[in-house]
């Protein structure tokens, strides 16, 4: 009966903000967050923000106007969530907190963890009951002997793994599925710390992408960790960081103290909502498949364009997030959907934001305020489109106080305990993207590596690197076929082209030349890059023909180019020029001048790209490659085109210097 009270206590935190209140002498009651209560003044933020820099929705009263101030204490369950969200939780203290407040599921989890270091702890044994020894023996999280054996499991082939698993079922009474140990084995092979621009593997046949991930140095694959998913904005500066590897830096001061995993995808192209949902969900799925994530503690946060993405995905997938936090974004139309699931929301904006107005966020905050939802709205007055560090810190503190909720018969209610991703049933296509390989591939290794390239992602990238290392030309016909097969994924074709370029096999140049007309600009660029090293002088004619076709396509699409199209056209265009220069064919200089430089590189009347995006950064990158390549054509008339490039970039010292160097080589 000791734990029966837990049901009532859970209800106290479900589905509503835990507001302070100020009662005036005229009996008016104002709810929110009391940020100051002195002998002379009371200040309350009606949008629940503790940030004293906020003025919107903040009410101040002389003490004489106030009849009563009530500060709502932190509910015990919220305290448990907050105190368990640390790198090294004090399980004995958490056990006491759970038993004192009747949290049955949480108490049982904490008791088992206490017994790991204190096997004879009477209170913990009483809570777990007669099954304590059996449960500990069969769990690698709690049994050091089983954990030690699990480390060697990664080196076993599929048949040996099956035998070892059956042995553990008999010797230790293991009840976890075999897939749990396969995931642990895979996770033990992953690097820790910060890994930048990792290729997305899961769902790589449907979507392609990259992400940056940070994992604690003491990561233990048998423990379930919180996960923060961060969505970047459009450009660098003022917090609006336009890629995952830089955006992750916002969280790396706190992540080691928290002991969480952070994954920040790079959206190519923005906006986030311009992609199918598989693009977004696959990044989260991969993190949960490679690392043991507590699926009851997954948090979404984004700034600027990432804030817009957060407003879109947060409510849409509210049943997958404990809380989400859009910053300097817009949206909020589906905030009530998140409220109905009990998902926490932390909204931030600055009233003087010149890029994204705060009206949508104010509107969403007003709706949530009326519903007494679990939310915070923080608004600054002079941060423009920035994202102050103290707001980021306050947002992460808000996350720590939140846990997965679910719809109950009387409103949202907490989901009990932890939910390790490694203990979940097999995911769709998990075996396809993360296959269990035999320890010795033998004579079939090349065929398996080619298959991995077809699968794509990091799996394909590693396979391509291994083929290059093996120097085995037996793979080349298969890679040429992949490159010429229309329904193969973009990722598989790019990796195939890369390997063919490294081998420098004349027989492969035909496949690379045909790939210059692929529907994907990224594949065309990869083919040109490889022809620069693996092609012959005659292949420059094929590249020139492809460049003319590219120019016509560019003309047709110019008025409606998206950011990614602009970037991909410029990258392919520069790659074509560099490849023809490397092959030493001077007769193609006219198409370089008329198409590559005048039409594509120096294009005018560009479409209006998204606010904050600077297309000239992409143009400059392409210009530098082209400038460096022009002397290879040995045609003095191209000096006039160098002059045009210098004029276009008259204020850029790097372009001026590189162009002057190129001029001196004619």
User: 106-116 pLDDT, tens per residue?
Assistant: 999 999 999 99
Is residue 61 over pLDDT 70?
yes
Residue 593: pLDDT band (50, 70, 90) is: very high
In the chain, where the domains are located: 19-73, 92-185, 190-423, 536-666
- At residue 439, the pLDDT reads 55
Give the per-residue pLDDT at 611: 64
Architecture per CATH, domain 190-423, reads as 3-Layer(aba) Sandwich (3.40)
- Average pLDDT on 636-642 reads 95
Does residue 4 have a pLDDT over 60? no
Rounded Cα distance, 284 and 207, in Å: 13
In tens, the pLDDT along 540-564 reads 999 999 999 999 999 999 999 988 8
**Tens of pLDDT along 27-40?**
999 999 999 999 99
| Backbone phi, psi, residue 205, to 5° | -80, -15
Write out the DSSP string of 441-453: -GGGHHHHHHHHH
- Of 179-183, 380-384, 405-409, give the lowest mean pLDDT range: 405-409
Mean pLDDT over each residue of the chain, to the nearest integer: 93
Angstrom distance (rounded) from CA 653 to CA 249: 29
**CA dist 143 → 140, 340, 421 (Å):** 5, 40, 20
Q: How confident is the model at residue 631 (pLDDT cuts 50, 70, 90)?
A: very high
In the structure, what pLDDT confidence band is assigned to residue 436 with cuts at 50, 70 and 90? confident
- One-character DSSP codes across 238-273: TT---SHHHHGGGGTTTHHHHT-EEEEEE-SSSPGG
State how far the alpha carbon of 48 is from the alpha carbons of 54, 57, 59, 71, in Å: 11, 9, 12, 12
Q: For 218-233, what is the mean pLDDT? A: 97
Contacts of 661 (CB under 8 A, 6+ apart): none
Burial of 610 (C-beta count, 10 Å sphere; 0-12/13-18/19+): middle
pLDDT band at 235 (very low <50, low <70, confident <90, very high): low
Q: How many angstroms separate the Cα of 197 from the Cα of each of 9, 443, 454, 565?
A: 44, 32, 20, 20
Q: In this structure, what DSSP letter does residue 102 have?
A: T
Structure tokens at 475: 């793979």
Checking if the pLDDT of 438 tops 90, the result is no
- Residue 505's pLDDT is what? 87
pTM: 0.88
Closest CA to 454 of 501, 520, 499: 499
pLDDT of residue 234: 82
Cβ pair 14, 57 in contact under 8 A: no
145-159, 293-307, 646-660: the lowest-pLDDT one: 145-159
Q: How far apart are CA 505 and CA 485, in angstroms?
A: 20
- Find, among 476, 478, 479, the residue nearest to 495 by Cα: 479
With a pLDDT cut of 90, the percent of the chain lying above it is 87
Q: Give the burial class of 235: count Cβ atoms within 10 A of its Cβ; 0-12 exposed, 13-18 middle, 19 or more buried.
A: buried
Helix, strand or coil, per DSSP, at residue 640: helix
Over residues 176-194, mean pLDDT: 96
Q: Does 426 score more than 90 pLDDT?
A: yes
């Amino acid at each position: 009966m000791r734990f029966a009270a837990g049901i009532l206590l859970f209800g106290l935190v479900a589905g509503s903000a835990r507001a302070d209140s100020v009662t005036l002498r005229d009996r008016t009651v104002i709810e929110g967050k009391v940020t100051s209560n002195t002998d002379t003044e009371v200040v309350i933020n009606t949008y629940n923000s503790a940030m004293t820099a906020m003025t919107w929705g903040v009410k101040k009263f002389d003490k004489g106007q106030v009849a009563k101030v009530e500060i709502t204490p932190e509910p015990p369950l919220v305290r448990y969530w907050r105190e368990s969200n640390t790198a090294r939780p004090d399980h004995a203290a958490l056990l006491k907190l759970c038993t004192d407040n009747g949290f049955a599921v949480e108490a049982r989890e904490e008791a088992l963890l206490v017994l790991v270091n204190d096997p004879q702890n009477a209170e913990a044994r009483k809570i777990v009951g007669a099954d304590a020894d059996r449960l500990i023996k069969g769990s690698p999280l709690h049994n050091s002997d089983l954990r030690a054996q699990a480390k060697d499991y990664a080196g076993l082939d599929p048949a040996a793994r099956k035998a070892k698993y059956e042995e553990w079922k008999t010797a230790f009474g293991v009840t976890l599925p075999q897939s749990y140990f396969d995931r642990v084995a895979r996770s033990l092979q992953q690097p820790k710390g910060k890994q930048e621009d990792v290729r997305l593997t899961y769902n790589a046949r449907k979507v392609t992408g990259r992400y940056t991930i940070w994992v604690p140095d003491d990561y233990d694959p048998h423990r379930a960790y919180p996960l923060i998913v961060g969505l970047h904005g459009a450009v660098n500066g003022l917090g609006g960081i336009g890629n995952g590897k830089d955006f992750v830096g916002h969280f790396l001061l706190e992540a080691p103290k928290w002991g969480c995993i952070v994954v920040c995808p790079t959206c190519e192209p923005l906006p986030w909502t311009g992609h199918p949902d598989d693009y977004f969900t696959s990044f989260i799925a991969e993190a949960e498949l490679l690392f043991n994530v507590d699926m009851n503690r997954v948090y979404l946060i984004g700034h600027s364009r990432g804030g817009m993405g957060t407003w879109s995905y947060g409510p849409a997938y509210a049943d997958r997030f404990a809380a989400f936090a859009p910053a300097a974004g817009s949206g909020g139309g589906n905030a009530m959907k998140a409220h109905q699931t009990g998902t926490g929301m932390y909204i931030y904006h600055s009233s003087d934001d010149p890029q994204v107005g705060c009206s949508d966020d104010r509107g969403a905050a007003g709706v949530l305020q009326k519903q007494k939802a679990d939310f915070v709205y923080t608004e600054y007055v002079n941060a423009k489109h920035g994202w102050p560090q103290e707001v980021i810190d306050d947002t992460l503190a808000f996350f720590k106080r939140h846990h997965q909720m679910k719809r109950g018969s009387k409103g949202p209610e907490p989901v009990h305990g932890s939910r390790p991703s490694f203990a979940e049933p097999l995911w769709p296509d998990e075996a396809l993207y993360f296959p269990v390989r035999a320890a010795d591939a033998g004579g079939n290794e090349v065929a398996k590596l080619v298959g991995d390239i077809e699968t794509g992602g990091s799996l394909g990238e590693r396979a391509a690197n291994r083929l290059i290392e093996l120097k085995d030309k037996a793979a080349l016909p298969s890679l040429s076929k992949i490159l010429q097969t229309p329904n193969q994924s973009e990722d598989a074709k790019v990796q195939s082209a890369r390997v063919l370029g490294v081998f420098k096999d004349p027989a492969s140049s035909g496949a690379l030349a045909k790939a210059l007309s692929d529907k994907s600009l990224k594949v065309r660029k990869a083919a040109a890059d490889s022809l620069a090293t693996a092609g012959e002088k005659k292949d420059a004619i094929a590249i020139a023909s492809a460049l003319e076709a590219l120019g016509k396509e560019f003309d047709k699409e110019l008025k409606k180019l998206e950011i990614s199209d602009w970037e991909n056209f410029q990258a392919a265009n520069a790659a074509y020029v560099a490849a023809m220069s490397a092959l030493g064919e001077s007769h193609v200089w006219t198409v370089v001048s008329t198409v590559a430089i005048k039409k594509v590189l120096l294009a005018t009347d560009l479409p209006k790209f998204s606010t904050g995006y600077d297309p000239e950064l992409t143009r400059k990158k392409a210009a530098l490659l082209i400038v460096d390549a022009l002397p290879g054509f040995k045609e003095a008339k191209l000096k006039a085109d160098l002059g045009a490039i210098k004029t276009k970039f008259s204020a850029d010292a790097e372009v001026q210097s590189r162009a002057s160097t190129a001029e001196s080589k004619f």
